[in-house]
Amino acid sequence: MIVRLAIGVVIAAVLSGCGSGVRFVRMDETKYPAKAKNAVVETFPEETMKPHVVIGTLSTEKTLDASFGDHSVYDTTVDVLKSYARQIGADALTYVSPRHVGEGGGQKLRIDATAIRYLAQSETITSAESDTTAQP
């Protein structure tokens, strides 16, 4: 019984992003190296024009409570997503969209985003450019 409980706790921790509270759905099979803890992760409310690959989608929730400091619940929640994005090697978060979920005293702020990794210039060559170099 205790062994089953321990296994259940371990599985729950793994599925919940190792305790981070971030839900992550991978869309790219490539596993990128983690970024440094202080690496900048840009955020965009929509798509970015920089060439990139989508690593996956992220979402997390934080209970709404009174905020009296410089850091709002929104900022704190985005920081959690940025930290997770660094762990999976993302350069930016796009489609960052906050919304309120729950009712009454149980209201939470949920933020969904798409984690992306910028492509190096050598990776952005289009097939049309490749075709012109292949001609005699």
How far is residue 84's CA from residue 81's CA, in Å, rounded to a whole number? 5
Q: In whole angstroms, how far apart are CA 114 and each of 36, 48, 71, 117?
A: 19, 11, 23, 10
pLDDT band for 60, please (50, 70, 90 cuts). very high
**Where do the structural domains in the chain lie, given as residue ranges?**
21-121
How much is the average pLDDT of 38-58?
95
How much is the average pLDDT of 13-32?
75
Residues in the chain: 136
Confirm whether pTM is higher than 0.75.
Answer: no
Higher pLDDT, 110 or 64: 110
Q: Tell me: the pLDDT tens digits for 70-127?
A: 678 889 999 999 999 999 999 999 999 988 887 767 788 999 999 999 998 666 544 3
- What CATH number was assigned to the domain covering residues 21-121? 3.30.110.70
Higher pLDDT, 34 or 19: 34
Is 66 in a helix, a strand, or coil? coil
How much is the average pLDDT of 21-35?
95
Kindly give the residue spans of alpha helices, DSSP state H, lying in the chain: 2-15, 73-87, 127-133
